[in-house]
Chain A
C-alpha cells in the first residue's frame, strides 16, 4: 500500500507498506531506509523475508525515488533527515520500530537510534558509511561532466560486486540510480563529505547489528571494526563478497542474518556465533 506523508516544507515523502501479518494482531514495524541515489525499490527482495511477521515500511528519502526532488542548493543536513524519519515513525507507525538502513541509509538509521532511543527497538546498518567515503568530489565531477547514467554505470560493479550480471547492472543503472533527480543528487553529494557520526555511536542503546563485506572497495573490515567497537553490545557480521552495497548485492543472505538477529532480539539477546561487543 502506497502512502504519502507531507512534511512542513511541502516535501512529500512516498511510503510503501507491505503487511502480511495476521490482521487482528498489532505486529511490529520494520522500517527500511535506502542509501544514496536509490529508492525503496532497492529493498524489494528483502520484503518477502519479513512481511509475514512485520509491517514493512519502505520510504523514499526526500529527493529520491518518488518523493519530492530537492534543488541543487537545498540545505541538506542530518537534522532534516532525522526530522523526516521521526515524522514517519511517530505519524505513520505510531510505535517504536525496528529500523534498517543500507549504505548512507544505514548511517541515518544508526544516527536515528542514537538520537531517539525511545522510537527504536532494534537497529541494523548494512555497509553504512559512518565516515563519508573518499572520492565524492570525483563523483560530483563525473556527474556534472557525463550525467547520472554514465556515473551510475561506471560505479556499479564496485557497488554490486564482481559477480553481478549485465542485466542486473542495467536495472540498477536505468531504473534506480539513473532516475534520480540530478539536482537532488548533486546537492546531497555536496553535503555528504561532512558526514561523520562516530560521536553518536556510543549513544546507541537498542540492540544493534552491522553488516559489512570482506572485499568492499570503499572500506576495510578493520576500519569498520574500529568504529563498531564503540557501539555497546552491538553485533558485527562480515559477509564474504566484494560488493560495497551488500543489501543490494546479497539481499537474501543479508535478510537471513537480520531475521536471525531480530528473532534473538525479541528478548534483547545478541547472536552468540557472531562477534559481539561486551555489553
Chain B
C-alpha cells in the first residue's frame, strides 16, 4: 500500500481500494477522516463506493499507518495536512478528484477546495463544523479547564469514551461499535491526538468558504451538537454552490451510525444522472 514522502522525515500513508474495470475511466474519491481517527474508520463505506470510484483513504500525518512525526507542534498543522492531501492527489491523479471529509476531514476539504480549486471536482462535507463553538469547547472539557486538560488528565481512552457517549454515538448504538471506536481511537499517540484536538479547537474555516468553486454537499446531523444551525447558516450563505442534507440524529458520528443513508446522498450527488 502506498506512502507519500512529504518531508525528509515524514511519510503519509493512504489506502487505495480499486475494483473498477481497468479498461474504463476510473474516477477517484478521497475519503478523509476527522480528528484523531484514521482511514480505517471508513470501512463501512468501501463496499458500496468502490463499485463506482477508486477510493483513497489517507491517514493524517502521525495517525493510523502514517509514519511518526517529530515535534507535534511544528510538524502538525492544518497547512501540513492540506499539503499532504495535495501530494496524495498529485501522486494518484492528473485531474480533479472527488473529496469527502468527515468532521475535521471536511475542514481540510474546505481549505483544500478553496486554495486548490483545480484539484477538487466536487466536495462533500459530512458532519463538518466551520469552527468549534464555545459550548462544545466547554462540553469537551468534561469539567476540566479545557479539552486538552481533560485529555491529559483523564487519559485518551477515558476521555474519548465519555465524550463519545455524550456527543458522538446515540444511546441505542451497537455497544461493539462504540467499544471498537474507543479502542481504535486510543491507539493514537497521546501527544498527536492532543495536538489535533488543539488544531480543531482553534480552527475557523469561515474565511475559506467564499473561495470554494466546486459544487458542495454538506450532510449534517439534525440538532448537531458540533455542527449547529449557526454553522449551517454560514455554509449556506458563504459557499456559492452548496446543498445541505440532513441525517436524523443529534450525534456526530453519522458516517458510522448512518453510513448507508450518508452513502445514498453521496452517490446521488457524485454520480452523473
Contacts and interface: CB of A to CB of B under 8 A. Distances in A.
B47 A168 contact: no
Given A22-B177, A24-B176, A24-B179, A48 B48 contact: yes
Tier of interface size on chain A? 10 to 19
Interface in B14-37: 18-24
Contacts of B24: 167
A167 B23 contact: yes
Interface string A48-61: 11111000000000
Contacts of A48: 19, 46-48, 50-51
Nearest to A47: B19
Contacts of B19: 44-45, 47-48
Contacts of A24: 176-177, 179-180
A20 B44 contact: yes
Chain A interface, >50% SS class: helix
B23 A23 contact: no
Chain B interface, >50% SS class: helix
A160 to B, nearest CB: 11
B23 A20 contact: no
B44 A168 contact: no
Tier of interface size on chain B? 20 to 34
A20 B39 CA distance: 12
A170 B40 CA distance: 35
B44 A175 contact: no
A11 B4 CA distance: 33
B21 A23 contact: no
B46 A51 contact: yes
A74 interface: no
Residue from A45, A48, A167, A171 whose CB has the most chain B CB atoms within 10 Å:
A48
Interface in A153-193: 165, 167-168, 170-171, 175
Interface of A: 20, 22-25, 44-45, 47-52, 165, 167-168, 170-171, 175
B81 to A, nearest CB: 25
B21 A45 contact: yes
Contacts of B40: 23
B22 A171 contact: yes
Interface of B: 18-24, 40, 43-44, 46-48, 50-51, 176-177, 179-180, 184
Contacts of B20: 44-45
Contacts of A165: 23
Given A20-B47, A51-B47, 6 more contacts: A20-B46, A22-B180, A25-B176, A44-B19, A52-B46, A171-B22
A50 B51 CA distance: 11
Given A22-B176, A23-B180, A24-B176, A171 B23 contact: yes
Contacts of A22: 176-177, 180
B238 to A, nearest CB: 36
A168 B23 contact: yes
A168 B40 CA distance: 32
Nearest to B17: A18
Closest 6 CB pairs of A and B: A52-B47, A167-B23, A171-B23, A48-B51, A24-B176, A20-B46
Contacts of B51: 48-49
16 contacts: A20-B43, A23-B40, A23-B180, A24-B177, A44-B20, A45-B20, A48-B19, A48-B48, A48-B51, A50-B47, A52-B47, A168-B21, A168-B23, A170-B23, A171-B21, A171-B22
B232 to A, nearest CB: 31
A184 to B, nearest CB: 22
A196 B220 CA distance: 59
Contacts of B22: 171, 175
A172 to B, nearest CB: 9
Contacts of A168: 21, 23
A23 B43 contact: yes
Contacts of A52: 44, 46-48
A164 to B, nearest CB: 10
Contacts of B180: 22-24
A21 B43 CA distance: 8
